Structure formats: structure tokens, C-alpha cells
Structure 1
Amino acid sequence: MRWGLRDNHVHMMVAVRPTIAVASLVEKLKGKSSYMIRREFWAYVKTMLWGNHFWSPSYCVVSCGGASLDVVKKYIESQHASPNERSLRASLAANKRKAQLLLARPAHE
């Protein structure tokens, strides 16, 4: 598995048996990673949750078309690059706005 982090999402290249449903794989990856991140970094992440959720319920799966696996691996690995201070501040501000919007929603929505 290859992975790369961005300020608000994760890129992954995963090889699994064709009998594994994509939705099941994503559910397991999100569930286990949420558990582990909450366990180790709760003080940091508790202010960034979407309601009570660590991950968004959505996901995106994309095929690589004609690109070679090496090209895809390099792209994913390039996602490890540390964000600059400006983009980090922008991301934190966006997460704060999301949290405020979620808290302001009526309970029946």
C-alpha cells in the first residue's frame, strides 16, 4: 500500500483481492484509522471532528487509466510534502468554519 497525506484528505494506492468490495475496504480503513488516531492524538483531533466523526462519510475511488504504477506511486508519495504555513493556516480556518457550521445546524437536519 502507498499513501500520502494532504491537509484534509489521504491518497492511497491499495491492492486487494477482487472479491473485496471497495465500500467494505474503505469502511475498514476509515474505521481502524479513526480508532488509532483518536487513541493516540485525541487532544489534537477532538476539535477537528465532523460532528462526532473523524472521517467524512464519502470517499472517491479512481482508476489510473493508462498511467504506469510508477507514475501513480510518485504522485502519491509527493503528497507527503509538508504544507507551507499559509496553506496550513487556511486549512485550520476551514476546519474551524466547518465545525461552527455543524454546531449551528438544527438537530432535525
Structure 2
Amino acid sequence: MKISKDVLGLAGLFATSAVVHLAKPSVYQPLMPAWVPRHREVILASGVAELVCAAGLLHPRTRRIAGWSSAALLVAVFPGNVKMANDARRSSSPAVRSAAFARLPLQLPLIRTALKAARSH
């Protein structure tokens, strides 16, 4: 089965984000809610999870489980996006505020794409 452009895009997004998670975890440190323990380890683990999801989305035999895993990962990192938006409210930059709040509804089409991948076989 051929991979759709949106699923391919999601895999690319995960792969790109994973590289940043693993190469420069400090970028994600400000997104970590205080209640999450061991921030650096969680950031690195989420980078590995993103790589695994990206790779899994690319192959028909693993796309189903990778789709479900991708949707779960997107839901799991959502509190970080909420924290980023909440923190951005104090920013003097309208661009920072806009970008932070724009991420919140953008999670929905990403989750939808992950679920689409999970339903494809």
C-alpha cells in the first residue's frame, strides 16, 4: 500500500523533531511541566519515541501500530504545548504568543493523520 502525503509529512515532522530532541534537548526544557519528573530523560525518550514512530509510519507492516503510537505520543506531549502557550502569555512578542497558541489546535490534524495511518493496512 502506498503511503499518503499527510502520513509521510507526519513521519517527516516526527523525524525532524526527534533529531532536535536528541541533539539539543535544552530546546524542549521550557516546555516541561513541573509535575513531569526527570525532564532531560523524558525529552530524550520522547525523541526516541518520535524516531520509532516516524520509521514505523513509513512501512505498511508497522504503520498501524505506529499510527496508534503516534496519536498517543501527540496526546502525551500536549501538556507541554499547553505550558508553552501559558508561558507565552507573558511574552512581549505577539509572534511568540501567536505561535505558542497556534500549536494547540494544530495538534488535532496531526492526531487525525496518525489515526488515519493506524486505520490503513
TM-score (norm 2): 0.27
Greater strand content = 1
TM-score (norm 1): 0.29
Greater helix content = 2
Q: Which is greater in Rg?
A: 1
Q: Which has the higher contact order (CA 8 A, sep 6+)?
A: 1
